[in-house]
Chains A and B, each alone.
Chain A
């Protein structure tokens, strides 16, 4: 199973995403309503990938990614934002994030997540 952590404060979004991914079968999804909550989940859950909203209560998505990366450097981060003017900060670029990992809300088709995750985590797929 691939463990996915979704950090988003808008409940409907992670729910729809979790349902979609869980329906797909090979994914174990947990949801955190804020960055801080997500960080708390990290040690136990040990996600392979995080899908992070930017505008969050408390720490924003960027800070979360940096913090999470510190504790779990192997984790893949996918940004899922409603902002249209989001620019990938240099610090995130340094830890390996690219424009391809930025998803703009609203997503018309969630299959794109599957594609990205499959592409980024081949070995994880084989782990089961």
Chain B
């Protein structure tokens, strides 16, 4: 036997070694072949690169410049490389410029192509020009990998074979050595062991193997042999005792398993603990575990039990007792609470010291559960009996005795001792309508026609209400079948009945809804049969009523859906979702019109027969869609409006505190106009708080906005931004509760226009009030006075708002034609469009009348027909007329003078010239006179003496003076009539005054009567007075007249204390030049002052002045120059003449210039 084992091992080893050699050789061959193949491919690529690099300069040309020669150069270079199948130069368009292909016969290894997926290797190189990729072509080289592989395979295989052979030889040698030196001694040794094992362990080996004598390994084997022999003996013994122990343990474990029991023991001295497998199992621990240190002694026990047991154990030990039994609660490892029964035994040592605790635990959870279930069941029964709803009755037909249980009575509102139990009572309480039926049923049982009954009747409750009672009963029969007793229960089913009724009502309600619901409701079968629809559904689909629809629709998919496929999809979807779905489906009406509907559909399986129904509701949403589209369009429009409107607009949400008081707002949206108005960007403020965006105190504004957001009416506020000088009108309203929107309108322009209007109004008001004519406005229709101007108030004496009571009649004198009727006549005329001008005696507030010239016309004010009456006080005009009369007078004087001047001048000429001749011919000095006198014998000297004596000289002189005076008067009078010489120039008043003063100083008359040089002249000329357009000579004459008058007046009063003085002043008085000439002569009395400008009025003695100087001056200033002249006289010896002349450009100046 050992021999055959030896042979077998050697053979196996030899085979293994051979196999290993083969594997190694093959491996080597493969690796070699692959390496060669890789390096060969590398070489080919390098070669291609090299060839291409060699042609680099030539190839650095655009492809279109590649000529055939260059192409062939490259190709021939490539051709030298073996294993190349083909190479070609291709341009970008895929055209082959040059190529070669080598036809190769497929080598023996061709099958690898398909087997190993080895294919030709294609190498592509882009043609490059210098460093720049021309991108115009490339070279494509195809390498036949199989050829490469083929070429080197034989070489690789031979090398691999060589290596394999070497390895094989080495393996053989090693194998022999191994066998010789190790395996054989070992086999000998094993042979020895096998000899001793089955037999006597102590027997000596029979024979030592031959090899053991010589080698050290033999000695070693002998030693091992001895050792093995001893060990085998010990092992055998141990194995036997172990087997016994195992058996005993298994037995114990099985017992414990069966008893669901676990046991443990603990050495109280050493603390060692042992748990049985049963215990582990009991506690749910993996049974293979060793006692876990984590599990303390009885750590699984309920805390209370542990404490109790511990103390009991202590007590036991103290008493020296040895056993304990009790129920315990414990936990399995997974936390399940269990009940157990614990038995403990204490082992004492010889010294009565407690040494061991032994214990067993039995799981009694099942028993405990059963006990508890029983107890619960009992309790439940008790409770049920106590709280049972049924009343019990028992009727002994033989004795007629009846028992009603307390619950029976309670059901009807009676206490246990209140209601006598009898058949009669029941019959009394029974509702009359139920009586017949109930008694009949009871009789049926009583008389044997039925064994039990169940009926419903109504009994009257103590409070008068009716109770629905379900009565069940059964008969107890005697031997002969007669009914001895009947007993049963009463159940109050009033609530149930009521619920039933309510249910019926609900059902009715649902039916009503079903009938009246505007949404179509339907039920179909799964395969498309229409079972039920409501009228709305029929209407939606265009059927006259639901019956017709149900009758006519054969297949829902065909008849109602736009296409049958739609229904299939819906059902697929429904099946997928498995519950109610909502879909939008296109349906068709009876006429074929298609429409879109929203459908809620669900699947119901009736359990009774397993039929599947589809229930659903359909809402025609065509209109809704239209409305939605319209709404969207509208929203779009309004959004655009919001975006495009010129008014800035912002939407805010109000933020309130807990008390509902607005504390802030949040910007929700703003439009571009708002951004431009506010200079704030929407992205910066949307979603932000008002307090962040507009810092500062906005409490008041927020309060207003908050009120509006909470329902107050919209408001419009005006805001002025001083920084930008802009006025804003802000409209605040609430588009929805809790929100407010603001619309800002820039009303700066409007405001400006308004201001202008107001200014204009004020201006016209000013004009209205400042005009000297009294104006009153009446409403044409009502004749209510609307307004009067200041002049009217002044003229009539009415003050403030008193004018409001004034009617046209009240302003009339009351005497025809100036009475109410007259006023009405005037109003009628102006109503007809006429403008009425007439004199009108206007009644003042004090009742007095003032004569006015009245112009009344119809005007439109504020779109209202208004009577405007303008009254001019003609009292004043009369004064003017007087002035005009004065002027007329002067004019007529002038005209007269002009008419008679010629006639007067001739005689005056005769007088004066004759007087001159007379004087000369009487003169002694004139030679002619002497001759004539001599001829006549007259002595001229004597004549002279005679004339002197008789005063004839003076006569002549007097005649001459009178003639001269008359001539002056005539000339002065002519000034009135003389047309303005229109020789007007711009005169500087200061210059003119100076010239006039000089003239005055030289004046003959002045010199004669007054030394003008004694008069102090004071000049005060305004430097800014512009020149006056006037007739220089005329104005000079005016000034001269005044100055002369002044000088003469002062001369006439030589006793005055002050030196005579004339002040000459000029100044500008609006658009008039004002010239004042003031003297300090005697004051002018009032009569003189008033008449001073009248013609021929003079204060001078006769012969001095013509009486026309001042009136001519007046005429010149007022009539010819449109100015004015006045004189006043103050108390302090002062007479002042004031001449006003219009400055160029003033109205008077213009009118006078024409």
B898 and A16 contacting across the interface, CB-CB below 8 Å: no
Kindly identify which residue among A12, A16, A81, A83 contacts B916, using a CB–CB cutoff of 8 Å. Answer: A16
Closest CB in chain A relative to B932 CB, distance in Å = 10
B913 and A82 contacting across the interface, CB-CB below 8 Å: no
Contact residues in A for B920 (Cβ distance below 8 Å): 20, 23
B535 at interface by CB-CB < 8 Å? no
Contact residues in A for B902 (Cβ distance below 8 Å): 55, 81-84
B974 at interface by CB-CB < 8 Å? yes
Interface string of B886-916 (1 = CB under 8 A from A): 0000000000001001111111111111101
A105 and B978 contacting across the interface, CB-CB below 8 Å: no
- Closest chain B residue to A104, Cβ basis: B905
- A20-B909 contact in complex given A82-B901, A85-B898, C-beta closer than 8 Å: no
A16 vs B708: C-alpha distance in the bound complex, in angstroms?
113
Ordered by A's residue number, 29 sampled pairs between the chains whose C-beta atoms are within 8 Å are A10-B910, A12-B906, A12-B907, A12-B914, A13-B909, A13-B910, A16-B909, A16-B913, A16-B916, A19-B921, A20-B913, A20-B917, A20-B920, A23-B921, A23-B928, A81-B902, A82-B901, A82-B906, A82-B909, A83-B905, A84-B974, A85-B977, A85-B978, A105-B906, A106-B911, A106-B967, A107-B909, A108-B912, A109-B916
A9 vs B580: C-alpha distance in the bound complex, in angstroms?
145
A82 vs B908: C-alpha distance in the bound complex, in angstroms?
9
A110 at interface by CB-CB < 8 Å? yes
- A10-B906 contact in complex given A84-B978, A106-B911, C-beta closer than 8 Å: yes
B32 at interface by CB-CB < 8 Å? no
Known: A23-B917, A84-B905. 6 other contacts (CB 8 A): A16-B909, A20-B913, A82-B909, A85-B977, A104-B905, A105-B909
Interface string of A79-115 (1 = CB under 8 A from B): 0011111000000000000000000111111100000
A16 vs B911: C-alpha distance in the bound complex, in angstroms?
9
Closest CB in chain B relative to A59 CB, distance in Å = 17
User: Which residue, of A15, A82, A110, has the highest number of chain B Cβ atoms within 10 A?
Assistant: A82
B917 and A106 contacting across the interface, CB-CB below 8 Å: no
Contact residues in B for A81 (Cβ distance below 8 Å): 902
User: Which residue, of B906, B912, B914, has the highest number of chain A Cβ atoms within 10 A?
Assistant: B906
Interface string of A46-89 (1 = CB under 8 A from B): 00000000010000000000000000000000000111110000
A84 and B971 contacting across the interface, CB-CB below 8 Å: yes
Contact residues in A for B706 (Cβ distance below 8 Å): none
Closest CB in chain A relative to B52 CB, distance in Å = 125
Closest CB in chain B relative to A8 CB, distance in Å = 9
Contact residues in B for A108 (Cβ distance below 8 Å): 912, 916, 964, 967
A105 vs B971: C-alpha distance in the bound complex, in angstroms?
11
A82 vs B873: C-alpha distance in the bound complex, in angstroms?
48
A4 vs B924: C-alpha distance in the bound complex, in angstroms?
27
- Closest chain B residue to A54, Cβ basis: B902
Contact residues in A for B202 (Cβ distance below 8 Å): none
B963 at interface by CB-CB < 8 Å? yes
A17 at interface by CB-CB < 8 Å? yes
A25 at interface by CB-CB < 8 Å? yes
User: Which residue, of A17, A81, A105, has the highest number of chain B Cβ atoms within 10 A?
Assistant: A105
Top 9 closest A-B pairs, CB basis?
A12-B910, A82-B905, A16-B913, A106-B909, A105-B909, A106-B908, A105-B905, A82-B902, A84-B974
B115 at interface by CB-CB < 8 Å? no
Contact residues in A for B970 (Cβ distance below 8 Å): 84
B926 at interface by CB-CB < 8 Å? yes
- Closest chain A residue to B975, Cβ basis: A84
Contact residues in B for A105 (Cβ distance below 8 Å): 905-906, 908-909
Looking at chain B, what size class is its interface with the partner chain?
20 to 34
Contact residues in B for A106 (Cβ distance below 8 Å): 905-906, 908-913, 963, 967
B913 and A17 contacting across the interface, CB-CB below 8 Å: yes
Closest CB in chain A relative to B783 CB, distance in Å = 59
A106 vs B901: C-alpha distance in the bound complex, in angstroms?
10
Contact residues in B for A84 (Cβ distance below 8 Å): 898, 901-902, 905, 970-971, 974, 978
Contact residues in B for A109 (Cβ distance below 8 Å): 916
A128 vs B146: C-alpha distance in the bound complex, in angstroms?
170
B residues at A contact (CB < 8 Å) = 898, 901-914, 916-917, 920-921, 926, 928, 963-964, 967, 970-971, 974, 977-978
Kindly identify which residue among A12, A15, A23, A110 contacts B926, using a CB–CB cutoff of 8 Å. Answer: A23
A109 vs B911: C-alpha distance in the bound complex, in angstroms?
12
- Closest chain A residue to B904, Cβ basis: A82
Interface string of A26-49 (1 = CB under 8 A from B): 000000000000000000000000
B906 and A13 contacting across the interface, CB-CB below 8 Å: yes
A83 and B901 contacting across the interface, CB-CB below 8 Å: yes
Closest CB in chain A relative to B927 CB, distance in Å = 8
Contact residues in A for B926 (Cβ distance below 8 Å): 23
A107 and B910 contacting across the interface, CB-CB below 8 Å: no
A16 and B928 contacting across the interface, CB-CB below 8 Å: no
A120 vs B225: C-alpha distance in the bound complex, in angstroms?
200
A19 and B917 contacting across the interface, CB-CB below 8 Å: yes
Closest CB in chain A relative to B979 CB, distance in Å = 8
B916 and A110 contacting across the interface, CB-CB below 8 Å: yes
Contact residues in A for B901 (Cβ distance below 8 Å): 82-84
A85 vs B916: C-alpha distance in the bound complex, in angstroms?
26
- A110-B913 contact in complex given A23-B928, A82-B901, A84-B971, C-beta closer than 8 Å: yes
A16 vs B977: C-alpha distance in the bound complex, in angstroms?
30
A112 vs B268: C-alpha distance in the bound complex, in angstroms?
186
Contact residues in A for B909 (Cβ distance below 8 Å): 10, 12-13, 16, 82, 105-107
B914 and A82 contacting across the interface, CB-CB below 8 Å: no
Closest CB in chain B relative to A31 CB, distance in Å = 14
Kindly identify which residue among B903, B912, B921 contacts A107, using a CB–CB cutoff of 8 Å. Answer: B912
Contact residues in B for A110 (Cβ distance below 8 Å): 913, 916-917
- Closest chain B residue to A10, Cβ basis: B906
- Closest chain A residue to B901, Cβ basis: A84
A108 vs B912: C-alpha distance in the bound complex, in angstroms?
6
Contact residues in B for A107 (Cβ distance below 8 Å): 909, 912-913
Contact residues in A for B917 (Cβ distance below 8 Å): 16, 19-20, 23, 110
User: Which residue, of A10, A84, A105, A106, has the highest number of chain B Cβ atoms within 10 A?
Assistant: A106
Contact residues in B for A25 (Cβ distance below 8 Å): 928
Contact residues in A for B921 (Cβ distance below 8 Å): 19, 23
B913 and A13 contacting across the interface, CB-CB below 8 Å: yes
A104 vs B907: C-alpha distance in the bound complex, in angstroms?
13
Contact residues in B for A82 (Cβ distance below 8 Å): 901-906, 909
- Closest chain A residue to B967, Cβ basis: A106
Closest CB in chain A relative to B923 CB, distance in Å = 10
A83 vs B967: C-alpha distance in the bound complex, in angstroms?
12
User: Which residue, of B910, B913, B970, has the highest number of chain A Cβ atoms within 10 A?
Assistant: B913
- A16-B910 contact in complex given A82-B905, A108-B967, C-beta closer than 8 Å: yes
Closest CB in chain A relative to B98 CB, distance in Å = 124
A23 vs B925: C-alpha distance in the bound complex, in angstroms?
12
A21 vs B888: C-alpha distance in the bound complex, in angstroms?
44
Contact residues in A for B971 (Cβ distance below 8 Å): 84
A55 vs B904: C-alpha distance in the bound complex, in angstroms?
13
Contact residues in A for B916 (Cβ distance below 8 Å): 16, 20, 108-110
Contact residues in A for B904 (Cβ distance below 8 Å): 82
- Closest chain B residue to A13, Cβ basis: B909
A107 vs B970: C-alpha distance in the bound complex, in angstroms?
13
A83 vs B914: C-alpha distance in the bound complex, in angstroms?
20
Contact residues in B for A85 (Cβ distance below 8 Å): 898, 974, 977-978
A54 vs B910: C-alpha distance in the bound complex, in angstroms?
16
A9 vs B912: C-alpha distance in the bound complex, in angstroms?
17
Closest CB in chain A relative to B379 CB, distance in Å = 157
Closest CB in chain B relative to A88 CB, distance in Å = 14
A50 vs B359: C-alpha distance in the bound complex, in angstroms?
192
Closest CB in chain B relative to A57 CB, distance in Å = 13
- Closest chain A residue to B970, Cβ basis: A84
Contact residues in A for B903 (Cβ distance below 8 Å): 82
A20 vs B914: C-alpha distance in the bound complex, in angstroms?
9
Closest CB in chain A relative to B565 CB, distance in Å = 121
A17 vs B910: C-alpha distance in the bound complex, in angstroms?
9
A44 vs B909: C-alpha distance in the bound complex, in angstroms?
29
Contact residues in B for A12 (Cβ distance below 8 Å): 906-907, 909-910, 913-914
